[in-house]
Every structure is written in C-alpha cells, then in structure tokens.
Structure 1
Amino acid sequence: MAQGVIVKAVSGFYYVDDGERVIQCRARGIFKKEGITPLVGDQVKFSRVGSEGVVEEILPRTSALVRPPIANVALVCIFISLKEPDLNERLLDRMLVQAESQHVQPLICVTKVDLDADKQMLHHLQSIYEPVGYDVLVVSGKFLLGLNEFQAYIAGKTCVLTGPSGVGKSTFLHALLPEAGIKMGDVSQKIGRGKHTTRHVELFRLNPHTFVADTPGFSQLDVTNMEPEQLQFWFPEIRTLRESCEYRRCLHESEEGCAIRSALDHGNLSDIRYGNYLAFLKEVREAKNRRYS
C-alpha cells in the first residue's frame, strides 16, 4: 500500500498527497463503524482503485485538534495585525489559550507593522508576550517580510495559520506558496473584515516534510466542558506562579495570599493578560452553570 497525508476532506472524499500527486480517496466503511473519522493532517495508508484510492489505515496521531479538525499539528501560527483591524489583545489571548488548551505550540505573527510608524504598538505587544515565553515574528505577505524566518521556524512541522479576517494571513500564505492560488480580498473599511474567508481546512505542502494550513474557526475558545480550575494552566505565567499561592484551589481573583495577585500588584504580571484571564474565567463559569442548570 502507498502512504501519504490527507490534505483536504470535502463531502466524504479525502485528498491524499503521496509526495508526488494528490489522489482522491474514499475511506473504508470500517472507520465509520468504529466511530473513527479521518482528519486533514492524518498520515494514512491507501490502496489504488483505478484513478482513485481507498484509505485503508490511519497511522498513530501525535495530536488531534477539534477546532479546526486537523491532526498531527505541531505549531499554531497566530496572525494579528497592529492596525486595520486594530490590535486586539483579548482576541489574541483567546487564540493563545485555545492553542495552550490543545497542547500545541503557538507562534505570534505580527502584520501591518508599516502602519505603526513609531513602532510603539509593536513594542507594546512584545513587552507583554515575549516575557511570557511566546515568540513574536514580524511578517508581511505584501512586503515579503519575514518569509525566510517563518520558513526556518516551521521547517519539518505541520502548522496551522489562524487569526481574524483581514490581518493578512492568506496574503502571507499566497506569498509563501503562490501556486496555492489563495483568493484574497481587501479589508472592508465598513466592517473591518477580509472578503476572503477560508471555509474548510486544507494543507499545503511547503517542502517534503513541512505543511501549512489556513484554518477557520480556531479563534473560538471552547469552554463547553472546561472547569474554572483548568483555565489557569493555559496562561504560562499564571501556571508558573500558582504553586506559590496559599490555597491549593486558588482561582487568583481576590483570595488572600494569592501569588498571582501579588505579582500583579508588584508590576510583574501584565494587567492586560490578567484582565483577559478574569474575563475568560467568567465565561467558563457561565458555561458550567448552563451545564448544570
């Protein structure tokens, strides 16, 4: 049997890249009986049936995301703009928490730095996220900025590109892979959104061992089954400090002896990040109350 990677799944068909061509495949009926769904990113074995193929086996996964549904992702590249649309730390933190909660390494890709003439906004963003341990990379598809650095960073990995509409991720993907033929649109001045919206997950092969995907839906933090005590683990700076809290089940709101509150009071914790933690904590609590109401 041949082996390849599922790069697209549409209407019951799985498109498998074997390194030389992409073959349209169906999945064996046994997968449905066993409740298994092949995912984009799956390494699979398949047999040829005429000009098409049949997925016979799904090889072990290193990871499996729910939103978007994609397997074996090693890196989430979060695209965020400084202007048009304006920098939104709440949305950025939402996507970072989503990556952390799914145990995938995030990379912050900053776009439209040309609109930040004095670089104050860039320095502001770097001052918040680099001390936490996140890498921040300045990129631009329009000006071909950061392409080499980005390719070196993702080499040998399957990564997903995500971010709000209009920040330039599809433009960057087009610069990275012109043959992918990504359709792009200008940002609508009225609603601040891009005209191009990716509607399904699709992998593009950058080289024999590197794949990238432009993905919808990742910015929606799934709090459906999250417990309030879990959220702190998805903020690295809170996760590091929590062991110093006086109470084992401290949620870091107003508890006496809270190490996180102390770090905030002494200027050792970003008030923006902490404020977003509290906002997300409220969402998690409300979701939990709905589950048991």
Structure 2
Amino acid sequence: MPEGKIIKALSGFYYVESQGEVFQCRARGNFRKKKITPLVGDTVNFEAENYSDGYILGLKDRFNKLVRPPISNVEQAILVFSAMEPKFSTLLLNRFLVHIEANDIEPIVCISKIDLLKREHQQEINQFINDYRKLGYTVLQTSIFMEELIEEVRPWLDGKISVFAGQSGVGKSSLLNALKPDLNLETNKISSHLGRGKHTTRHVELIKIGTGLVADTPGFSSLDFTEVTSEQLSDCFPEMRSRASQCKFRGCTHSTEPNCAVLDAVEAGEIADYRYKDYLSFLEEIKQQKRRY
C-alpha cells in the first residue's frame, strides 16, 4: 500500500505527496467515527486510482501535534520577530518559546527587518540576541533586502519539517518569498493605526525549500496556557530547568519558596530579569485559568 505525507489540507481534501507526486485524497468514513482528523505533516497509507480521487486509509504514529495551527510531526519552529515595525517583543517571544518547548520542538529565533533598526536601538537588540544565545537558542538576523542574511537561514531548513510562526506583520511570508521567490505568498503592510499586520496566510501547507519542508501557518491563534501546567512551566525555561535540582523543595515554583536556586540566580543577575518577570506573569495566568475551570 502506498505511503506518503500530507502536505496540504483544504476544504475537506488532503493533498498527499508520495515519491514526488501529489494525490488529492479524502479521509475514509471510519476516521470520523473514531474522531481522528488527519493533519498536515502526517505520514499516511492511501490508495488512489488517479491524482484527484484518492482515499487515506491509515495514519502512522505522530511524535507531536499542534492544535492551532493544526499540524503534526514538526521538528523545529522558526520564530520570526521583527526588530522594528512591530517593535521586538521579548514578552511575546517568551510566550512563543514556552509553547514550542512544551511541544518538544526545536526553536530558532529569527529577527527580521534588521535593515530598519536604528542606531539607538542596536545595542538593545544585540543584548537580547546575546541573552537568548546564552540560553542555548539559535538566533538569526534577517532582512529580505540583504541576500547574505537570507542565505544564512537556508541550511537550518534542510532535511526537517519546520513551522514559521510569529505575530502578524513581522514578515514571515516576505521571508519565505525571499527564500523561494516563485512562492508569491501574499503579504500585507503594517497598519499604522494598529501597529501590526493582518494575517495573510489562510491554510496550512508544507512548502519544499531545499531538502526541507516548511509550513507557513496562519499563526498560533491561541497562545494561552491551557496545555501547560504550573508544574511544567519552569521546564520550558532552560535557565530554570538547569537549576531546579538545586532547589530545596521538589516541585518548587521559583516564586516564594526559601532556598530556591532560581531566585538566587535572579538575585545574582544570572537570570535575565525580564525573563523571570514573564515567567511569574505566565505562572499567575495559569493559576487564574485553573480557578476559572
């Protein structure tokens, strides 16, 4: 039985690539009975008499699954954040990183629109870049007008399924167009009133770039912490994860407990203050969600 990968889902149809060819398929009725929905990124067994009339018969095991955007088997996330227009936001980046870490996906931070960066903001951005690199994150700088910076992105995409994510207006589609000009993905300019762009991507699709597959997604439409518990949150911060075993109490929340290695590191300036403040904000948000339930 042929095997392939779902590279696009649209209007009830699944487009399955197998040995360089793409077949339009529907899911068998027993998927609905079992409440199973095939996702972009799934490896599937299928049958097809022609290119436009196939059926998905079975799904291979997934190693991860995102709900919004609906995609599976993602190996890495390219988190695109603009240096300017909209201004670089560590709060939103930290929120994205928590969700990526919680799903065991390798994050790559990509700071776009570096050409718009004014001299007075350069030092601040450089400090953020250094901070995140010290935590072990890969941080790239890009501009669609600087070919040498675009070329630095390509090797990171080879041989993997990657998702491009970030707030609207940061230039995700523009960056993908620069990496593969024949894509002609729609882009919108930033609204001067709102300070952000409109989402221009309408569905999830895997696009071949080099030897990798890239998803330009409609974005993480929900960034709440419904799938992250207060006990799990600190594991999504590498600087806390590495110190947790040194805390006096098992299950330490690193907020008010005595003899907390994380609090000591914050006090000593070994953990960035803005990262710790965001952690406390997320922790409170999770607790408030629990109370509402």
1:95 alignment counterpart: 96
1:257 alignment counterpart: 259
CA 174–107 in structure 1, closer or farther in 2 if over 3 Å, else same: same
Determine the C-alpha separation between the residues in 1 that align with 2:255 and 2:60. Answer: 44
1:121 alignment counterpart: 124
Shifted more, 4-13 versus 270-279: the winner is 4-13
Determine the C-alpha separation between the residues in 2 that align with 1:201 and 1:75. Answer: 16
- What's the TM-score once normalised by structure 2's chain length? 0.93
2:78–2:164 CA contact under 8 A, matched in 1 = yes
Determine the C-alpha separation between the residues in 2 that align with 1:256 and 1:69. Answer: 42
Determine the C-alpha separation between the residues in 2 that align with 1:28 and 1:177. Answer: 34
2:268 alignment counterpart: 266
2:106 alignment counterpart: 105
SS in 1 for 2:235: helix
2:9 alignment counterpart: 9
CA 197–90 in structure 1, closer or farther in 2 if over 3 Å, else same: same
Determine the C-alpha separation between the residues in 2 that align with 1:288 and 1:239. Answer: 23
- Percent identity, aligned pairs only? 43
Shifted more, 90-99 versus 246-255: the winner is 246-255
1:242–1:259 CA contact under 8 A, matched in 2 = yes
2:277 alignment counterpart: 275
The correspondence of residues 168-207 of structure 1 with structure 2, limited to 5 A, is: 168-207=171-210
2:61 alignment counterpart: 60
Q: Which of 236, 245, 260 does residue 243 from structure 1 map onto? A: 245
SS in 2 for 1:130: helix
Cα-to-partner distance string for 1:104-149 (whole Å, 9 max, x where unaligned): 1100001111122433133121122111111101122243343332
Q: Per-residue deviation at 1:219?
A: 6.3
Letter in 1 for 2:246: S
| Stretches of structure 2 lacking an aligned partner (at least 5 in a row) | none
Letter in 1 for 2:128: L
Shifted more, 123-132 versus 17-26: the winner is 17-26
How many residues align structurally? 290
CA 290–41 in structure 1, closer or farther in 2 if over 3 Å, else same: same
Cα-to-partner distance string for 1:49-102 (whole Å, 9 max, x where unaligned): 343211122222232222211111100110001111011110000000010011
1:252–1:260 CA contact under 8 A, matched in 2 = yes
Across the aligned residues of Structure 1 and Structure 2, the Cα RMSD in angstroms comes to 1.7
Shifted more, 263-272 versus 41-50: the winner is 41-50
1:137 alignment counterpart: 140
